[in-house]
Chains A and B, each alone.
Chain A
């Protein structure tokens, strides 16, 4: 039952080798094996997005991805992303707009928004709302999160953000 697989992967820039059970999910793996507690378990069924983790540059649900699937991959969590400074502007915008309250969803929000910033630099407010709909927040009502992301999009594009307009 507890057959283990050896996997070799890079987590937040550090190459590592671990033995994992085939059933272990990526989010449990990073939380329990590496004490990277910034990826959170909200639903464990791929709905809420609090466990969003980056694998080979693309975001995945840490609760739907098995650790063995990350064999040979580059994995980044919110801790690595924060240390790298790639989303410092986005994180600052979240703070300025009070786009987080309890903060439980926030690492996942930041991971998801990062991919939006990189892949859809011209996203409209409505497109931001659509994109972020894979991540649940129970505190903010989303308005401030959308403001923070729109402002970051605008700043990266050298534009002045238009707040609160659909």
Chain B
């Protein structure tokens, strides 16, 4: 029997939506060619394998795991921003029912070394040694000081009430603006000042360019400190087997190998004695990619108690112990000519990161990114930036979804809109005139960033159509005449993805930029994939299955993806910097191609034909020309595994292969996109209604359009949260005022707009797959788009707001309605 429909293009890709999103490739290239002989799944919106269990409540999040003899830890955390610890009285707590151990910073320090979180490539960066539990001093409200371990969580919490810590308040450093003043106390006197990192960049002839430009406009931007609020709090079970001298940690986390390395080093264990397991993770967004003091404390407690210890942060402690991010004050200006040419940008960025740089990725990256990314989409030649990253007595900050992009984009795009308004040019038009043209790549941006290939022009064209811009603009104008204040805001953006070792490795952080994938053909013809890049909801498990199925030539349902276990998967970096699809996906593709090649070798031996005459299609070895099925993979597997006696003595089937991939062509592979927001502002109340949001996104080859759409939508809403709602509010003593979910506002369903997403596909040439990251672009652009839309709505009233979150109060203040 011939199977005609096995021909490469015989069957339409069922279920794919990619045709619904007209696509575009880099200039001079045809629409994306198929990657494999039998392309069925790459590019199609197929379902993820793990969702059916999740939708039925059958997932396994870390708190769902119960181990024999498992104890529970809760922490006494500093109640003030800065204090000297005078004494800890724990006898009453120790006498409480079920209490196993009460431990302080000295107890933990006996088994776990302190750390200093700096990166060598961030020149001059400094931080102070940090311990799992504070010793001598606590430096932020929420820093863990005392651990109480008990048989049950209730018993640990009951005993916690009896912990008494005597402390002397020390003056806190709260405001970033005065952190470097000589009169401000030093948080770590041994460092000499409160400066963690500083960087200056001066490109072109900024002073001259600004002096000669037709117009220079300034704005001072503020970005509120906010945090990730993963719906599942940070959670962990440490299980030290003293007999085996082996540590197993179940962790709600994004980078298991990174933690394996850190536990091994901090506890002086061989790497092989540490296993980190990540089961289902209830949201991560960068919150769960850092090594927290209580992570190490929980491991130490398991060692001291010689039994498993579970730590699950409650929501109140999440707010003061999860990393915060994004608190920046940026004074910025843009020089523009009357013909619309953007001549240059200048920024001065000040950001506060808490009392310690966060381990091991450090807290200087976000500010560094702002410097790198401001002006990123544009072709100006003059750019000056200055950055100060200062210590303060607030919760440590670190990389959170978007990492600097939302700030850089809001500053850039806010200035571009200001410039457009000044020279009376349409905001879409000024962007068109200034974006780096699609045929100019590869190129280097003014800040020095290497840009492989981007598609700003195509994206701007597409969003204009998608949102029916001229009609929408006309509607705005018409409504303004009726006293209805609507506005349109654009944000052109670039997003850093597929990082090379330039991000962390070169700075000495032992975080892999390479990832491996292992593919095994099982005897039944099923395929098992083991990979270091995990799954936290973005759908990595889904796209890896699609890639593997196409690369090997089997049905999707036959591929099983296993991840999240350092004992099992190849070594890898995990998920951060939008690297899952681009790095992990390429490793899967390479492994799939290698497995298919090995399958053909086995098929050739069994069939006594040459390899060149064979191909794999839909679970069969077929004739490469006629596509006639010759040998089912199930039969091939049976012979290979169970009847080696029938194979030549000098031939061994190798039906398990591993391939690795690291992106080395560029420091990062940048993606681009453009977003637009349509809002209505009520000048009486200052309320903003989000009417609609559009995004055109170019993440290279789209592996699963629906999953990319959902990454974009979710990230946009997270960006909108920071733009309008979310802020960690502190008083002058450095105490967080809204550290609970009722008072810290996150986006709710009714307030959020529908979001339309379209794709342009410009594959990266740094990989065969051509995929770039898609996880953070939404968050990068949304705050800028919404801010610009609000300011567009307010423009007829001669008001502007540059401080995020843009609350009704700030809008009314800008309107002069309230003080």
Contacts and interface: CB of A to CB of B under 8 A. Distances in A.
Interface of A: 1, 21, 31, 35-45, 47-48, 50, 77-79, 82, 91, 94-98, 100-107, 110, 126, 128-130, 132-133, 135-146, 164-166
A91 B55 contact: yes
Interface stretch (B194-202, B290-298, B546-554, B738-746): B738-746
12 contacts: A38-B58, A98-B706, A101-B539, A102-B282, A103-B50, A104-B230, A107-B56, A128-B749, A129-B750, A137-B231, A138-B718, A141-B713
B181 to A, nearest CB: 38
Contact of B749 (A31, A95, A98, A145): A145
Nearest to B50: A103
A141 B47 contact: no
Contact of B47 (A95, A138, A165): A95
Given A44-B315, A138-B746, A141-B714, A104 B741 contact: no
Contact of A143 (B158, B231, B713, B750): B713
Contacts of B315: 42-45
Contact of A138 (B55, B230, B539, B749): B230
B56 A91 contact: yes
Give 6 nearest A-B pairs by CB, closest first.
A38-B57, A103-B54, A104-B282, A101-B537, A102-B537, A141-B717
B56 A82 contact: yes
Given A95-B47, A101-B537, A40 B750 contact: no
B314 interface: yes
Contacts of A78: 56-57
Contact of A141 (B58, B154, B752): B752
A143 B752 contact: yes
Nearest to B720: A141
Secondary structure call for the A interface: loop
Given A79-B56, A102-B536, A164-B756, A138 B742 contact: no
Contacts of A126: 750
A146 B755 CA distance: 12
B74 to A, nearest CB: 13
A41 B63 contact: yes
B610 to A, nearest CB: 44
Contacts of B714: 101, 138-141
Contacts of B741: 42-43, 45, 47-48, 136
A142 B532 CA distance: 29
Given A95-B55, A144-B710, 12 more contacts: A39-B57, A45-B315, A98-B51, A102-B283, A102-B536, A130-B749, A133-B750, A133-B751, A136-B741, A143-B754, A146-B749, A164-B754
Nearest to B56: A82
A146 B749 CA distance: 8
A142 B750 CA distance: 9
B41 to A, nearest CB: 15
B280 A143 contact: no
B707 interface: yes
B628 interface: no
A126 B314 CA distance: 33
B732 interface: no
A40 B56 contact: no
B534 to A, nearest CB: 12
B538 interface: yes
B61 A104 contact: yes
Nearest to B746: A136
Interface of B: 47-48, 50-52, 54-61, 63-64, 66, 154, 158, 228-233, 280-285, 314-315, 536-539, 691-692, 706-707, 709-710, 713-718, 740-742, 746-752, 754-756, 778
B710 A101 contact: yes
B339 to A, nearest CB: 38
Contacts of B716: 141
Contacts, number: 181
Contacts of A79: 56-58
B55 A94 contact: yes
Contacts of A140: 710, 713-714, 717
A100 B51 contact: yes
A162 to B, nearest CB: 11
A104 B232 contact: yes
Nearest to B744: A47
A110 B52 CA distance: 13
B48 to A, nearest CB: 7
Given A102-B536, A103-B282, A104-B232, A38 B56 contact: yes
Contact of B752 (A41, A91, A94, A142): A142
A104 B749 contact: no
Given A45-B740, A106-B55, A136-B748, A96 B47 contact: yes
B590 to A, nearest CB: 27
B696 to A, nearest CB: 16
A123 B707 CA distance: 27
Contacts of B48: 98
A31 B54 CA distance: 16
Nearest to B748: A133
Given A101-B539, A104-B283, A129-B749, A37 B64 contact: yes
B55 A103 contact: yes
A101 B691 CA distance: 24
A161 to B, nearest CB: 14
Nearest to A105: B231
B49 to A, nearest CB: 11
Contacts of B158: 1
Most buried by B among A91, A129, A141: A141
Contacts of B61: 37, 40, 104
Given A95-B47, A100-B51, A132-B749, A138 B57 contact: no
A103 B231 CA distance: 10
A110 to B, nearest CB: 7
B726 to A, nearest CB: 11
Contacts of A1: 158
A148 to B, nearest CB: 10
Contacts of A135: 749
Contacts of B713: 140-141, 143-144
A165 B95 CA distance: 61
B229 A138 contact: yes
Contacts of A50: 231
A140 B755 CA distance: 11
Contacts of B60: 37
B746 A103 contact: no
A59 B347 CA distance: 51
A115 to B, nearest CB: 15
Contacts of A77: 57
A45 B742 contact: yes
A82 B282 contact: no
Contacts of B538: 101
Contacts of B228: 138
Nearest to B48: A98
Nearest to A37: B64
Contacts of A21: 154
A35 B63 CA distance: 11
A97 B751 CA distance: 20
Contact of B710 (A98, A103, A110, A132): A98
